[in-house]
Homo-oligomer: A and B are copies of this chain.
Amino acid sequence: MDVRRLDLLRELAERGSVTAVAEATGRTPSAVSQQLKVLEREAGAPLTERSGRGIVLTSAGHALARSAADVAIALARADAVWDEFRNDASGEVTLLTFPTIGATMLPAVLSELRQVPGLVVRATDFDPELAEFAELTADYDIVLAHTMPGVLPWGGRGLRVVPLLTEPLDIGLPATHRLAGRSHLTASDLVEETWLGVPPGFPFERILHAIEQQGGRRVEIAQRFSDMRIVEAFIQAGFGVAFVPRYTSGALPPDLVLKPLRGVPSARQIVALVRPDVAERLAVRTVLDVLVAKAAELGAGTGAGAGAGAGAGAGAAAS
């Protein structure tokens, strides 16, 4: 049972096609196919079977791929222990962020990480639909994701989920709005309003549904944007009200006010998603630690607590 071959099987389980594995590992599909064939011969049982144009893993294949993941973890841990021993957190860590947190928290995180010699963080932004977050861990070491509390559609995949922040979602209003003087708002205040929503499939939607349910009627959604900057601009311009995350919106324009929502739990959970094997890498854990710490600062600044285990070392976070 060669490790490199097992690793290929693990990749196949994650990516689903020989071609994808080949691309991801910088080989030709032929090479991957050959190695899988050898592995199959060594294992003594069929691991894949054809399905339409592609292939799928047999149950035996899945079983073996699971073990392969454990091996990958052990191997990554060995690397990590070694890097710790040498106190060397160098290496490249790829990170995918969604826009809001990328704008507010990431600069501080990266500037702190610049202190670590040899550590290179490559960050990119992208605002995927909820379901896609997990898939992206195949291509990025750390994926920052946001979702509603209690809704964790990943995790079944064996991903490590590091909680960063539980962030309240306030209601953004123009300073001139009739509700702008209130200390807080309720569902019934808001069902009359025109809303700026998010594209279908994005996390915020559920809360709006809760408001509709409690307010007793459907709200009108005038526009749908995923980019907060645009939303803020539209709020200012009087096109409607919208959810605005309390901490990660950065400096708000003076004519835009945030009001907490009462009676409807409105918060988003911000987490980092990491594949368990890459979570072992010292460089990755270093980045995660700083993320957790900075997120805690952000949350502590206004009183609301961060997710959990801030500063406790992300390596110890549950799966």
* 8 Å CB contact of A77 from B64, B67, B75, B82: B67
Q: For A38, list chain B residues within 8 Å (CB).
A: none
A54 at the interface (CB under 8 A from B): no
For A, the interface residue count at a CB cutoff of 8 angstroms equals 25
A6 at the interface (CB under 8 A from B): yes
Contact B1 A75 (CB under 8 A): yes
Q: For A86, list chain B residues within 8 Å (CB).
A: 44-45, 60
Q: For A88, list chain B residues within 8 Å (CB).
A: 44
A312 at the interface (CB under 8 A from B): no
Q: Given A68-B78, A70-B77, 4 more contacts at CB 8 Å?
A: A6-B78, A64-B85, A67-B82, A71-B75
A residues lining the B interface (CB < 8 Å): 1, 3, 6, 43-45, 60, 63-64, 66-68, 70-71, 73-75, 77-79, 81-82, 85-86, 88
A interface secondary structure, majority:
helix
Nearest residue, chain B, Cβ from A78? B67
Complexed CA–CA distance, A71 and B7 (Å): 14
Given known contacts A44-B86, A60-B85, A63-B85, is B74 in contact with A1 (CB within 8 Å)?
A: no
A281 to chain B, nearest CB (A): 12
Given known contacts A63-B82, A63-B85, A82-B64, is B43 in contact with A75 (CB within 8 Å)?
A: no
A68 to chain B, nearest CB (A): 7
Complexed CA–CA distance, A75 and B75 (Å): 9
Contact B1 A78 (CB under 8 A): yes
Contact B74 A70 (CB under 8 A): yes
Nearest residue, chain B, Cβ from A3? B3
Q: For A1, list chain B residues within 8 Å (CB).
A: 75, 78-79, 82
Q: For A67, list chain B residues within 8 Å (CB).
A: 77-78, 81-82
